[in-house]
Structures are given as structure tokens and as C-alpha cells.
Structure 1
Amino acid sequence: MGGIAAVSLALVGVGAAGAVAAPGKPGEPGTPGPRYTAGAAGVGDAYFPYAGNGGYDVLHYDLDITYTPPAPSPAPLEGEFHGVATIDLVPTQDLDRFNLDLRGMDVLALSVNGKAAASVAPPLVGDEVDGAAYWQVQDDAARVWELTVQPRPKLKAGAQVQVVVEYGGTTTRPLDIEGALYGWVTQRDGAMVVSEPEGSMTWYPVSDHQTDKASYSFEITVPEGKVAVANGLQPKPEETADGWTTWYWDAPDQQASYLTTASVGDYDLRDVYESTSGVPIIDAVDTKLSDSRLATTNASLDRQADMIDFFESKFGPYPFVAYGAIVDNDSVGYALETQTRPVYSSQASEGTVAHEAAHQWFGNAVSPERWQDIWLNEGWATYATWMWNEERGLRTAQESFDTWYTPTRTQAYWNVQIGDPGPMGLFLTQVYNRGAGTLHALRLEVGDDAFFAAAQLWLERYDDSAGTSEDFQDVYEEVSGADLDAFFQVWLYDQQKPTL
């Protein structure tokens, strides 16, 4: 620890409603001049206005984490976390200041290009801040968690910059906008780390939106006997000394922040095996799973290589350096497609494993540019599971569609616009099942050849980036030659049962 004292959390510069005070006009005291401007405090996502940040592009995060899990019950369910994040970024504009997202952690020290910055309270408009500075706003009611950095000298567009943040705090079990666990979820034996939609800020300073993807490396130190599992591959074996073990992971592919993990627990880290195409598969399974859950999990994970083979035959090559699973002995029933290594709580069932495997193409390689486009993630993963069930001889995709489409449902069910479900509707069943139904209906509309050719073009064109529903429609119109305006209006936005 050590360094500059923890930053003040006083909400100076924040209005009564929790909104960040607007910057003054260029040239006013304490505000950016006409050339150097402040990076935006969010990317402008309609659902999460303060998620992500403007004015720069992150290239790489190097996360050096030391974590102590909670003591045995009845001690509080709290862990102790210390981290050093080294962030390589490139300004996309001349920057007077810029933001990082950080929630629930204290900043202990910060530097930009090796120059230390001092901690100050947020300045009011018109105040001068002498020299490089940083400050935090953490307003849970307004869902504003910003770490603002004012570098000196200012940053020129296009120049590579390295930001180092030392930070830490006591971890608990943070909640997302719907009240569900996410982020660094503290557990008695470690932590389950699942961050959709914007929970990565609970465990490292980040531009927490999928439009700013980056590569990652991890150095995670935990008490000896614990296993830490992150994205990608192990570049070298773990090292143990003085009662602590350090685990190393490297994820060189472009990755959205919500898809990062650094889960800690009592895992059996199993031997690496490969798919037919040579994708290395690494599984970490909690040693405390019950016999029945372990049997279900093992049977499901045994099919991962076959799933990769099947999805490659439909969608193109697997997009990342590795695959695998983290199966945690937790009762929350959570599963998330964390990149290269999905997390499953309780157990991994075959259908869920197929769903998360398909997400590596749809959601991970190509992410939704806006959170309102989440049906492109969940609809595709659900439909790919229908396809997998057909491949397995369980039921055809048409039979799965009929099972969803045929029953009589209430008007409230059809009121959900899956193309814009709202921030409280990201994980509604309609997003998954009507999303899958949309894709099956699209397949019937354009035919198999165009349907799969367009899926592959979508993945090629937007690989390592993000797209919108409108972009998706454009690709399918380009390949099929059809006008699909009416189709997508009916299936994504009309508040009634779609007609075939």
C-alpha cells in the first residue's frame, strides 16, 4: 500500500440530483481552453450514460491484484483488495482531462507517463487546480462513479499514454441496476467475477463500455491454496512464496470490459485439451460441487470441443486464443459469457454451455454498440442453442421455434420491444426467446444460404468491435437483396405477436 492518501469522496461539483456539474465555457477559469478539451464522462449510451468515457482509446490493461478472501463465518462477508492497474491508451482528442470508471474503491496513487498526480476534491467551475490532479465522484443514488484525471502536461491526440492507478478497498457484493449481483462478487472462498453490463468498474479503473475494447494481462496474488482464473491463457506457471500464490493470465484479443474475469476460489484447474481446430480449452471447477452437480457439469463440459466444431461450421473460425469454463459452487444461478472462459454458478448444464459458447461469436467477437441492441447477443446465443439441440437430435430449430411461438401469451409479454427493452429489461426472457424467434423467422424469410452467409459477413465485418441492429439489418439486406424494413419493425419493435 502506501503512496498518496486515499482520495476524498466529497461530492463537490455534483448537483443536488447527483448530476456532474457541467463544465464552463472554453476559456473560463478552471475549464479547458479552445484546443484542449475534457474527455466525456460517458460514451453516451442511453441506458448507462456514465459508462465508458470519451476522448481516448484504451489499448491494454495490465492488472496486478492482491486479494484476501473473507475469514470463515461468522466473520463479515468482506474481502480485502489491492490493485495496480497499468493502462495504455491513446487520446483521440487533445485532452485537458479525462475520466475512468471506478466504483467502491479508493485511489491510493496515480501517475500519467510517470508523473505523479495529487489527490484533490473536485473543483468547482471557476476554480484553478494547480498542477496534475485527480479526484473521484462516487454517487450511488445517481449511479455516477467517475475518477477524473487532469494530467500536466496536457495530452496530445495520437500520443501513446500510460496511466498507472494504485487503488484498493474492502470488497462486498455489488448490485447492478436491477438489484442483481455483479462485478467483484465476494464469496466466502474467494470471488465470482461477472460484470455485465457495467460492473468491471467495481474491481478496476476502466472505460467500462464495449465500444472501447482492449487486450488484458493479469497477475493475481491470493493466499496459497486458492486458484485465480482469468481470461485467455497462462503465459507461465503460477508461483508460490511465503504463503501466497501468484497466477498469471494473458488475453491478447480485443475484449469488452464486461467480459473480463479474475475469479478466485477452491478450483480444480484441469489439464488443457483442444477442439478439432486446435482451440485450447481450460476448465476450472469448484471442488465443493455436489456429486449430482459435478456429474451434470462434467457431462456438459465434455461437449465443449464438439460445440466449437459445430459453431465453427456455421459461423466461421473460433475468434479467440482459448476457451473453457469456470464453474463456481454458488447458488445464485448465474452464467456469463466471460470471454474465453464463461462463468457458471451452481453447475454447467449442456444447454447453458452451448449458449455461452455461441456468445464467443455473438456478443464477444462482435458486441452490441448500444445496450439496447442486446438481443443481438442473447437472441443469437439462444438460437444457436436451438441449432445445437437439432445437431444433437433432441429437437429441430423449427420445433423449438414452435414451442416458443405457439402458446397463448398475455399482451404484457408482447409489449416488450426487444430492439429497445430499456435498462431494466436487458435480461427479460423476451430478449432471449423472441430474439431467437426473430432469427428463425429471418432464416425462413431469406433462406438458409443467405442466412448463414450474412451471419458470417456480420462476424467478419464487425469482428473485434461492435454493431447496432441497423448495421445487422444492412448486412442481411446486402446479402439477401431483400428490403427488410417491415420485417425488423415487426419482430423487434411492434408490441404484438409477430405474424409469419
Structure 2
Amino acid sequence: MHRRFTVPGAVAAASLLLAIPASAASFSPGAPGIGDPYYPYYGNGGYDVSHYDLRLTYQPATDELSGTATISARTTQDLSSFDLDFLLDVDEVRVNGVTARFTTSGEHELVVTPRQPLAEDTPVTVVVRYHGVPSTKNAYGFTTWHRTPDGAVAADEPESAWWWFPSNDHPGDKATFDVSVAVPDGTQAISNGTLVSTSSQLGWTRYNWRQNKPQATYLTTLALGRFDITTGTSEGGVPVINAYSKDLGDNDGAARASVERTGELVDWLSGYFGPYPFDSAGGYVPNTTTGYALETQTRVYYSPAQFANGSNTSVVVHELAHQWYGDSVSVKGWKDIWINEGFARYAQWLWSEHEGEGTTQQLADYVYASHPADDPFWTVKPGDPGADHQFDAAVYDRGALAIQALRNEIGDTAFFRLLKGWPQQHAYGNASVADFVTYAEQVSGKPLAALFDTWLFQPVKPAAPAARAASFAASPAGVEQPRSWKKIEATNDVHGR
């Protein structure tokens, strides 16, 4: 569940070309974008990051953030300069221990020119010292740094890193993380992975979090404030860390009734998707005015608005399903978003069936019958929806319809083998819709290109499957709404900022 945003196509963000020694004439600047057509200036070219070490200090009273980011990377070309995605004020940059020149370009590019050019396929360590007030920074007309009454939260998609750490901000460059944050005593800092230690000194407490599995930058989260933190272990042995703002008010009970089932739901989803891929699970509910939830890796972000109408385990199922489909296996490019959202939505359908509130087929029939042929719903292509429609309801619902059509075509045995096999096949990596089609054909032994083309790429309503046509003909006024639908539908209303 995410908010929708499209980067203006006319944004000018070319890297600044700085003079380099004649001996390095073959070296060139890294590209200011990683090459994603949906977001041309997201991510950067010329290097691949393996680890981020962030050592930060935050003052909630003023929203001041300062710190040092140490980035371990390897060059993928001969580089005269390279970009990082970042918005705060930079004090110093060092490359391999030596101070480097830096400037800014475009909306969010920090352009770094090392003293000596960097040869292809060599390790590089970049240290950035910085400071600023994230809530005062704006790019493309928005911010992803959300102030709360007692602190702030960084959680958004398809970007959020720029506001608090320099990065190669695209899921195509995943890395491990150490996030260490000092806050005044009484305030807590929550991030991804495992809390490895805390320490206190002179009225400040430092929280040290570690994510030891590759993680996309937009899935890296930071929550700063006063929380009630609960810990436990699922029956299957997964440590669970949840947190709730101490001032959630009327939404507190419903939030806890939902998020505290995380361990149970992780174990249940493991039955469909295979072993849980990370060292911890959990979620947090800060006191924000945003409306969405986000699958931030191991520590899901939930807006309290998700629980304004009571508990909703369906949204928790959706975000936890992303830990396999979206987090462990991430998109190659943002056009591949169906693999994330279609399968997370289908997990909600599976949960509905488990709870006796509507089978996956009943839900598929309801969605299909609810949208007449002239509904714009069918013009969105889940397999390549475009940046304007990346988080459209059709990506979720028509995307789940495609999965039910696949299940009906290949049968349950192959289908459930595929559900488990895909996250293992591409664990901790990236994959595309085309990769998924190939894998589905391998698992099932059937040609499936036509089926996927019909359900994912054609901007028209597919013909009703023969096995379902009679059912639709018998109920021309529509199909009965499954009992789970209202809870599932509630997760559609989470795209706006």
C-alpha cells in the first residue's frame, strides 16, 4: 500500500562535468539515474553499493538530524565523478579516505568528484558528513519525511532515503545496513532488522539496528518518537518487534489487535511462501496523518488510519506477504510492480479463504463482475502500468485476478509449488515480470505467455474463463460480495500523501 507519485519528465538533473586529469581522459561521470524509465533520475550509474553504515543524531524538538554515512561500494565503470541521491546539507565528502569535491544538481543529486578517478571494478568507500532539518526539504513538490508530535518517520515509496541518508536510491541496488541513532532519553529510534545494542550517555540514548540481508533503500525506515515496544517470538521461531506511539488515542486498541498477530501471520504465510526470509519481523504504528501502510523490510509501517474502523488483519497479511514478494525478491524496475502488489493482494484473498469469509475464486468472480467492460479499470496494464498508474487499484485487483487465472490454468499442485519456489529462486535479489513468466512455464510445463498477456498487458476486459462464464450468465445483476471484501478494499485507500 503506497502513495502515488510521478516524477515530472522535464526535470533536468545531469551530472556536473568537472575537469579531470588528462591521464584519466577515458574516465567519465556516472549517470544521474540508474536507467528506470518510470523515474529517470532515481538511483545512479557507475557503482554498486554493498553496505550502508549510518551513524546519526536526532533532536525531536527541532527536527534536526546530523550524522555520517559510510557507503561501501564497487565501481561498475571508470568513474571521474558519481552521484548520490540526497537532500540534506553536506559538510564533507571523502572517497577512499581523501576529501572530495562535491556539488548539487537537479532536484536531489549530490555530485561527488574524487581527487583521483576511480577505475572500474574496484572497491570504494565514501564517507558523507551532513546535517539538516529534513521536514524543510522538498523535491518534486513533496516530502517523505513525516513529522509527528514527538519526532518523525521516514517511510514512503518509491523514494524516502533522500531525506535522511545519501544513497543509490533504486531497488536495483540493494545493500545491507547498520543504522545507529542517538536521541534524547525518553525518545526511541526504530529501524529495520535487529536491535543489536543500546547505550546511554549524558541524557542521550543510542539505538543500534542491523539489517544483515540485502535491502532496497526505499524499504529502509526510521521512526523517532515515544513508543510502547512489544517483543516476542512466533511459534515458528521468528523474533517479532512491534511498536506503537504512546498517543494513538482511539486507534490504539484496533492497531494492537491487528499488528500483534504478526508472528501468527508470518508462520501462516510461510506455509504458502516458504521459510520467512529475514531475522526478525514486526511493525510500527506512529502517530502520523498519512493514510498508507508500507512493507518496510522486517518492520512494517502502518498509518493509524488503517485501523480507524477497527482491527484489520488483512492489511497486516498484505504487508507481511511483501516480505517475500517485494522485499526478499525485489523488482528489477518499477514497471515490475505487479509481482509485489498482485501477490500481496492475493495473500489477502488466501487469508479470506482461511477465515471462511470468501474463497479466492469468489473474490476473483466478484472483482471481475464488479467492473464492466467500459470501466477504465481494464485500461490499466498491471504488467507495465506506467508511472501514473503504478499503484492503481487495478495493479492490485486485476493483478490478483491474473494470479487466480494462472492457478486455474496450471492447477493447485504446480501453483503452490510456484508460490514457494519463486521467493527461493530469487532470494535477496531482483526479478522482472518476464522472469516470472519464464519461471511459471518451467514449473508448470505449460506455455503461459498468452495467458499473462491477456491478464497483464491487454488494456481490455478479458473474456470470462469458460468455467466461470455460466456462473456470470446466471447472475447478470452481479456476484455476491464476499464478507472479507470491505477489509480488503480498505487497503486500496492508501495511495495519497
Calculate the TM-score normalised by the size of structure 2.
0.86
Distance 1:388 1:174 in 2: 40
1:150 to 105, 113, 121: 113
Distance 1:377 1:154, change over 3 A: same
Unpaired runs of 5+ in structure 2?
Answer: 1-9, 466-497
2:29 to 38, 42, 52: 38
Opposite residue 14 of structure 2, the aligned amino acid is V
2:435 to 471, 474, 477: 471
Opposite residue 162 of structure 1, the aligned amino acid is T
Say whether the 8 Å CA contact 2:90–2:130 is kept in structure 1. yes
Matched with 1:283 is: 242
Matched with 2:390 is: 426
Say whether the 8 Å CA contact 1:411–1:496 is kept in structure 2. no
Opposite residue 226 of structure 2, the aligned amino acid is D
1:485 to 435, 449, 473: 449
Opposite residue 258 of structure 1, the aligned amino acid is Y
CA-CA distance at 1:327 after TM superposition = 0.7
1:215 to 173, 176, 186: 176
Distance 1:372 1:164 in 2: 32
Say whether the 8 Å CA contact 1:304–1:353 is kept in structure 2. yes
Distance 1:52 1:340 in 2: 23
2:157 to 188, 196, 205: 196
Unpaired runs of 5+ in structure 1?
Answer: 1-15, 72-78, 118-132
- Compare 393-402 and 338-347 and name the one that shifted more: 393-402
Matched with 2:225 is: 265
Distance 1:332 1:357 in 2: 20
Distance 2:23 2:360 in 1: 57
1:20 to 10, 14, 30: 14
CA-CA distance at 1:82 after TM superposition = 0.9
Matched with 1:83 is: 67
Q: Deviations over 1:121-169 (max 9, x none)?
A: xxxxxxxxxxxx22111x3xxxx42111111222233332211101121
Matched, 1:498 2:459: no
Matched with 1:9 is: none
Say whether the 8 Å CA contact 1:32–1:38 is kept in structure 2. no
1:68 to 50, 53, 59: 59
Opposite residue 494 of structure 1, the aligned amino acid is Q
CA-CA distance at 1:93 after TM superposition = 2.2
More helix by share: 2
CA-CA distance at 1:365 after TM superposition = 0.4
Distance 2:411 2:80 in 1: 53
CA-CA distance at 1:394 after TM superposition = 2.2
Distance 1:448 1:32 in 2: 62
- 1:235 aligned counterpart, secondary structure: strand
Runs of 4+ in 1 over 4 A off after TM superposition: 21-24, 28-34, 173-177
Matched with 1:122 is: none
Say whether the 8 Å CA contact 1:70–1:187 is kept in structure 2. no
Matched with 2:275 is: 317
Q: RMSD value over aligned CA atoms? A: 2.2
Distance 1:458 1:295, change over 3 A: same
Distance 1:180 1:21 in 2: 22
Matched, 1:462 2:462: no
Matched with 2:488 is: none
Distance 1:335 1:484 in 2: 33
Matched, 1:415 2:373: no
Matched with 2:123 is: 160
Opposite residue 284 of structure 1, the aligned amino acid is A
Matched, 1:108 2:66: no
- 1:496 aligned counterpart, secondary structure: coil
- 2:194 aligned counterpart, secondary structure: coil
CA-CA distance at 1:18 after TM superposition = 2.6
Matched with 1:437 is: 401
Distance 1:64 1:222 in 2: 12
Calculate the TM-score normalised by the size of structure 1.
0.85
Opposite residue 228 of structure 1, the aligned amino acid is A
Matched, 1:96 2:80: yes
Task: State percent identity of aligned pairs.
Answer: 41
- 1:374 aligned counterpart, secondary structure: helix
Say whether the 8 Å CA contact 1:69–1:186 is kept in structure 2. no
Opposite residue 37 of structure 2, the aligned amino acid is A
Distance 1:355 1:180, change over 3 A: farther
Opposite residue 321 of structure 1, the aligned amino acid is D
Opposite residue 255 of structure 1, the aligned amino acid is Q
Opposite residue 424 of structure 1, the aligned amino acid is D
Q: Deviations over 1:210-258 (max 9, x none)?
A: 111000001111122111100001111x222222221111111100000
Say whether the 8 Å CA contact 1:413–1:430 is kept in structure 2. yes
Distance 1:342 1:431, change over 3 A: same
Distance 1:396 1:62 in 2: 45
Opposite residue 53 of structure 1, the aligned amino acid is N
